[in-house]
Structure 1
Amino acid sequence: MVNKWGYKLPITPNDKSYRACYRATANHCLLQDISYYNCIELTGVESVLLSGLSRHTSAETGLTFAAQATITGSREGSVTFYQSGKYPFGAIGEVSFIWKPKCINGVPIRSIWLWSHPGFHEELLKELISTFNLSEMESEEPMEVSEVANEIEMKKIQLRNVPYVRTPKYSNNQGISLIVLKDTLNRFRLTGPLSQAVLSHSLKPICIDKRSQEGGSDWVNDYYFGEYQNAKVACVAQQNFWLLIKEIYSPSQLTPRIILPLTVLDPRFNMPSSRTKAVDTSSTEELIPFEGSLEAAHLESPLWSYTVRDSVTKKKLSTEQINRMRSEKLVPGLEVESLQDNVAEDIPCLPIILIQRPGSQESSKRLGYGCGWDVISPCGYAIPLWLSFVLSGARTGGLREAEAFYRESGSHPIHQQPDTAVGKAEENEKRLETTEEFFRLPPAKRRNYIKLNIPTPFYCPWSVLTKDWEGTAEFYVMRNKKILYLLHACVKKRTVDCVNLLNEIDVANGAIIPVRIDLKGKGMLDSNAHICLLHENDLNSNPLEPQKTDELHQERLNLRTEHHKLLKHLARKRYKARVAEREESSKCDKDYKQTILDHSSVNCIEEHSKTMRRLWLPSCTTIKDICSRTVFGFVSNGDYCFTEGISSGVGYVILSGLKEYLKTRITTKNVILIRCTNTDQYRLATFNIIC
């Protein structure tokens, strides 16, 4: 476990499961709890919402909040969120969103959920408050202790924004309201082709026609048989659609990012007593596309209602109550509830939202790799859902598995974009951690990066790179789809037209291009490796970086010798002061304790440490031509790739350097040189633009 972004998060499972987790994403099912992602709800007139949100996005980066594919509420969308009016600079991070389906009566008031990584949640919230000119509303009366069921501990409720009256709220005079739903919704991510089978085995939709309409006291009666006239019809349509698609082999066969609301039974009622493996029941493993989806009128979910969410959380049955219900059955141990026996009593249920993830769609990669489902549920049901998925055969993963999945799929993690505040904070944290680890080694065991000519072994100096190439220290990640596809085509196939089109690219200075790197032969790619331009004879040889003379070696030795002498001198002074104090041979009023403090070695040790760090790792002022090969990029995340069976990773290259490479490359293949931070050996690699 590790403390990150205000949460206690798991790094990795306790068992040796690195390869097993990859097999789960590729062939089975990997389960991750991403409830630390934060949700913000915006409500208001649709045109006003779109007008404000458009200041933070650009159509050049892809579909926006106003895209027809997502605005109906049938699909989840994602955008790169920027500071207001600062595109292409000022990136905050990637935000996924869900529109609440339109009402049948045509009311223009809409709601949207914005899901963000906790690393930039506060920055996103400040931007939204500033854009819509919102002010915080006074909190309402807190929930009484008597309202909470006995089985739910009040101290757990107090740590979360539950119920709705405790959630932070903001509003303005134009009818726009913002609600921070942080820690009020659970979100699980199931990755792999068998995630469909795991969900089918774990989730049992209710049979709304068999629920009692009179005398019931749960939220189902109020919602489905109350004021929402279309709710019952929508519930039946959702159940029928789920029965239709749950037999398919893989989620990648479905329409990308479709949203499926469901109301399911409490998973503890049909949870297996021991761990089983859910298997698909499809007749074929062929990935035949299934293009069906729910109608717009059937997308309504009770999860959008705060009264339903509060009711589900407050009236959740304890495990002890469920065990008592099970023991009172005629044959103890049988399931308390089934779809066929759902008439006599109303078993608790909860609303969820399923969001499909399509996985890889590249023809050159494994089709559908990374597909799966996201499950959103109300607060209080995290452990029951988690146990139900695990007992159905899902393998659990942590932050390490999430980073490995991004690398396998050839994309950059959301929180590691180098032009965002959270990305810079992550890089600084990793830089400090690796630097401290380096200096904990004795001098004889430290790798000499001066001789290797690696000025920045623990971080990527993007500002120095852009300053060397384009004269500006400010940089940004290129996300313009049109330019990325153009560069991708130029890298794939060299033509005269491509070279001419490169000259027409006119963007702001400081653009870095996302790339995927694949080593061609030996070697292991790691973070902070240099991406370099080729020389003419490098294709037929194994170039080495000439060893650089360490001019600071003798200075470090002399400084260390003098430091040891000083420490011995101070130790003798302190020893004499202690002896004099014990013997009390002097009659003067001299303060011996002050003498000991004056000759303390703490300050000189700190100064010596700072000086030695500077001599071991001198500051980097230039990077482009510091080596024998011209540097025009860095690898940000690299390791062995199980999908390709080679060492690969992702990184960025400067746009000016990429143009020079395309104009002067000596082969039709997209070959470059890679040098890792722990070696002087250059290795050949291929690269592709990440669009």
Structure 2
Amino acid sequence: MSYYGCIQLEGNEDEIIDKINPLFHSSNNNLTPKAKMYLGGQFEGQCLIYKPNTQECLTPISFMWMPSNDKRRKLWLWCHPASYDSLAQILISLFDTPSSISTEEPPVKKQKNDEQQPVSVTLLRDQQQLARFRLIGPLSMAILKHAFHPSVLPGNAIERKTAPFSWWSNETHSIDIHQQQLQFWNGNIGNTSTMMPNRIVALVVRDPRIFTPLKPKLTIHSKTKIEKVESFPPSSIDLASSPLWIEKYRTYCCEHKLATYQINLIRSKSTVDNYELQLNEEESQIPLIFI
């Protein structure tokens, strides 16, 4: 999955749905991005993409909408690199975007210099900013919960405006949304049998590298009793909002994180063999999306 590429469509929701409609065959039994359950941005969908107005299948895709109450939306389309360029060119053509702009150096924004054209196509192929991985197996959730430690926002508003929280603790990712995600992560997410398929759960976590022990220990996982969860958060509860959708936050996160060699150097100078490395304001906060 790490080699999959993402294409972002940004613009009026109705126009995006209308323009990409020729890519879905009428006999396609899978729900497309216009399905009501996906428009809220709380679920990821999968379907087949066809060449416009034909029965020739181009590629399977995964897609997700950015949660928003605004009519100007973002839609991410994920596909295999073998069909990435073909799909990108088709989308550029559908949205009447100039094809003279090079697509060789990602990410490249495609946008028509016309106020009547509200939809832009952005090629998010830069895996330094956006990468996708898949974990398979019965211990997947146990590994994730062991590796990722959620960021905890300070209660003081002034403290939230200082590093390392200042870049993502704002109106686009409110403390209320973060608390909902944090509560869910610490509770129900440990029992994947209670989760609705393809439900999106976003979270901002502390840099996992600061919890790497000097001497790795082999942990034997025994069977644990899973408590029955009576209720699951409805789709009206926003678990999917994430700073990862915003390009400036992805850029900030990449540019301000310490290199691995710097972390190793700090660890080598530490006189105490702590499980958690103290980086204070230099500690990175990483936005993640789980599906």
TM-score range, shorter chain: 0.7 to 0.9
**Could you tell me which residue of structure 1 aligns to residue 221 of structure 2?**
279
Once residues 124 and 177 of structure 1 are traced to their aligned partners in structure 2, the CA distance between those partners, rounded to angstroms, is 15
CA RMSD of aligned residues (A): 2.8
Task: List per-residue Cα deviations over 1:475-495 (Å, max 9, x = no partner).
Answer: xxxxxxxxxxxxxxxxxxxxx
**Could you tell me which residue of structure 2 aligns to residue 387 of structure 1?**
none
Shift of residue 93 of structure 1?
A: 1.2
Structure 2 gap segments, 5+ residues each = none
Shift of residue 194 of structure 1?
A: 1.3
Q: Does 1:351 align with 2:287?
A: yes
Shift of residue 276 of structure 1?
A: 3.1
Once residues 21 and 217 of structure 2 are traced to their aligned partners in structure 1, the CA distance between those partners, rounded to angstroms, is 48
Once residues 50 and 245 of structure 1 are traced to their aligned partners in structure 2, the CA distance between those partners, rounded to angstroms, is 33
Once residues 230 and 141 of structure 2 are traced to their aligned partners in structure 1, the CA distance between those partners, rounded to angstroms, is 15
Shift of residue 160 of structure 1?
A: 7.1
What amino acid does structure 1 have at the position aligned with 2:151?
I
Shift of residue 247 of structure 1?
A: 3.0
Say if 1:126 and 1:320 are closer, same or farther in 2 by CA, change over 3 A: closer
Classify the secondary structure of the residue corresponding to 1:187.
coil
What amino acid does structure 1 have at the position aligned with 2:126?
D
**Could you tell me which residue of structure 1 aligns to residue 242 of structure 2?**
301
Say if 1:310 and 1:169 are closer, same or farther in 2 by CA, change over 3 A: same
What amino acid does structure 1 have at the position aligned with 2:51?
Q
Once residues 154 and 183 of structure 2 are traced to their aligned partners in structure 1, the CA distance between those partners, rounded to angstroms, is 13
Task: List per-residue Cα deviations over 1:46-100 (Å, max 9, x = no partner).
Answer: 00000011111135322111111111000000111001111xx211011100100
Shift of residue 137 of structure 1?
A: 8.0
Counterpart pick for 1:199 among 141, 144, 157: 144
Once residues 238 and 281 of structure 1 are traced to their aligned partners in structure 2, the CA distance between those partners, rounded to angstroms, is 26
Once residues 7 and 51 of structure 2 are traced to their aligned partners in structure 1, the CA distance between those partners, rounded to angstroms, is 17
Structure 1 gap segments, 5+ residues each = 1-33, 140-158, 162-166, 356-691
| Bigger Cα Rg | 1
**Could you tell me which residue of structure 2 aligns to residue 321 of structure 1?**
262
Once residues 243 and 88 of structure 2 are traced to their aligned partners in structure 1, the CA distance between those partners, rounded to angstroms, is 25
Matches within 5 A, 1:605-624: none
Classify the secondary structure of the residue corresponding to 1:325.
helix
Task: List per-residue Cα deviations over 1:258-291 (Å, max 9, x = no partner).
Answer: 00011011111112432534737741499x7964
**Could you tell me which residue of structure 2 aligns to residue 255 of structure 1?**
196
Task: List per-residue Cα deviations over 1:290-329 (Å, max 9, x = no partner).
Answer: 6435645453200001111111111221223223433555
Counterpart pick for 1:132 among 95, 109, 113: 95
Q: Does 1:237 align with 2:180?
A: yes
What amino acid does structure 2 have at the position aligned with 1:260?
V
User: Under a length normalisation based on structure 1, what TM-score does the superposition of the two structures give?
Assistant: 0.38
Shift of residue 335 of structure 1?
A: 1.3
Cα contact 1:35–1:188 (8 A) shared by 2: yes
Once residues 99 and 24 of structure 2 are traced to their aligned partners in structure 1, the CA distance between those partners, rounded to angstroms, is 25
Shift of residue 183 of structure 1?
A: 2.9
Say if 1:266 and 1:80 are closer, same or farther in 2 by CA, change over 3 A: same
**Could you tell me which residue of structure 1 aligns to residue 64 of structure 2?**
98
Once residues 236 and 285 of structure 1 are traced to their aligned partners in structure 2, the CA distance between those partners, rounded to angstroms, is 22
**Could you tell me which residue of structure 2 aligns to residue 189 of structure 1?**
134
Matches within 5 A, 1:641-656: none
**Could you tell me which residue of structure 2 aligns to residue 71 of structure 1?**
39
Cα contact 1:263–1:351 (8 A) shared by 2: yes
What amino acid does structure 2 have at the position aligned with 1:124?
L
Cα contact 1:39–1:181 (8 A) shared by 2: yes
Once residues 192 and 237 of structure 1 are traced to their aligned partners in structure 2, the CA distance between those partners, rounded to angstroms, is 27
Cα contact 1:137–1:170 (8 A) shared by 2: no
Once residues 160 and 271 of structure 1 are traced to their aligned partners in structure 2, the CA distance between those partners, rounded to angstroms, is 34
Matches within 5 A, 1:445-594: none
Cα contact 1:94–1:116 (8 A) shared by 2: yes
**Could you tell me which residue of structure 2 aligns to residue 424 of structure 1?**
none
How many residue pairs get aligned? The number is: 282
What amino acid does structure 2 have at the position aligned with 1:222?
W
Say if 1:98 and 1:190 are closer, same or farther in 2 by CA, change over 3 A: same
Once residues 223 and 110 of structure 1 are traced to their aligned partners in structure 2, the CA distance between those partners, rounded to angstroms, is 20
Shift of residue 333 of structure 1?
A: 4.0
Classify the secondary structure of the residue corresponding to 2:180.
helix
Classify the secondary structure of the residue corresponding to 2:261.
helix
Once residues 74 and 328 of structure 1 are traced to their aligned partners in structure 2, the CA distance between those partners, rounded to angstroms, is 44
Once residues 111 and 121 of structure 1 are traced to their aligned partners in structure 2, the CA distance between those partners, rounded to angstroms, is 18
Cα contact 1:136–1:169 (8 A) shared by 2: no
Say if 1:188 and 1:290 are closer, same or farther in 2 by CA, change over 3 A: farther
User: Under a length normalisation based on structure 2, what TM-score does the superposition of the two structures give?
Assistant: 0.86
Greater RCO, CA 8 A, separation 6+? 2
Say if 1:215 and 1:114 are closer, same or farther in 2 by CA, change over 3 A: closer
Say if 1:296 and 1:128 are closer, same or farther in 2 by CA, change over 3 A: farther
Counterpart pick for 2:83 among 117, 120, 144: 120
Say if 1:124 and 1:269 are closer, same or farther in 2 by CA, change over 3 A: same
Cα contact 2:10–2:72 (8 A) shared by 1: yes
Cα contact 2:42–2:239 (8 A) shared by 1: no
Matches within 5 A, 1:403-418: none
Classify the secondary structure of the residue corresponding to 2:49.
strand
Task: List per-residue Cα deviations over 1:184-220 (Å, max 9, x = no partner).
Answer: 31111001221111101111111112687267344x3
Once residues 326 and 63 of structure 1 are traced to their aligned partners in structure 2, the CA distance between those partners, rounded to angstroms, is 49
Once residues 282 and 234 of structure 2 are traced to their aligned partners in structure 1, the CA distance between those partners, rounded to angstroms, is 30
Higher helix share: 1
What amino acid does structure 1 have at the position aligned with 2:283?
I
Once residues 317 and 280 of structure 1 are traced to their aligned partners in structure 2, the CA distance between those partners, rounded to angstroms, is 35
Say if 1:289 and 1:170 are closer, same or farther in 2 by CA, change over 3 A: farther
Cα contact 1:37–1:116 (8 A) shared by 2: yes
Shift of residue 112 of structure 1?
A: 0.5
